[in-house]
Amino acid sequence: MSKKKIKNGNGHTKRDRKNISAEDFVRTWQGSTSLADVCAKLGYKGLGAATRAANYRKKGIALKKFPSNRAGLDVAKLKELAKSLS
């Protein structure tokens, strides 16, 4: 009995993502404009690509950083909102 490979919406399986070489990952990362772009190109979901990039940075590989989605957050306003809802 063989296991079926279940592909995500991008046509990649989990096994495919594991088989992406470090060189291909770095090329794709450096050639992309956002984390979402990397995920779309390589078939990652969630923060998998960001985690891999962070691990490479810890090893001294100088991967570029994408702009944070948190830019422009009004932290004080959000703290007040959270407090008012609890």
pLDDT digit string (tens) for 24-83?
A: 999 999 999 999 999 999 999 878 999 999 999 999 999 999 887 666 777 888 899 999
Handedness of CA 48, 25, 40, 13 (dihedral sign): negative
Check pLDDT > 60 for residue 7: no
Return the pLDDT at 86.
Answer: 82
Is the model's pTM score more than 0.85? no
User: Is a pLDDT exceeding 70 seen at residue 14?
Assistant: no
Domain locations in the chain?
14-85
Task: Over range 7-35, report the average pLDDT.
Answer: 77
Q: Which residues contact 8 (CB under 8 A, 6 or more apart)?
A: 43, 45
> For residue 10, which of 37, 31, 40, 32 has the smallest C-alpha distance?
40
Residue pair 15/3 in contact by the 8 Å Cβ criterion: no
What is the distance between the alpha carbons of residues 68 and 65, in angstroms, rounded to a whole number? Answer: 9
pLDDT of 2? 47
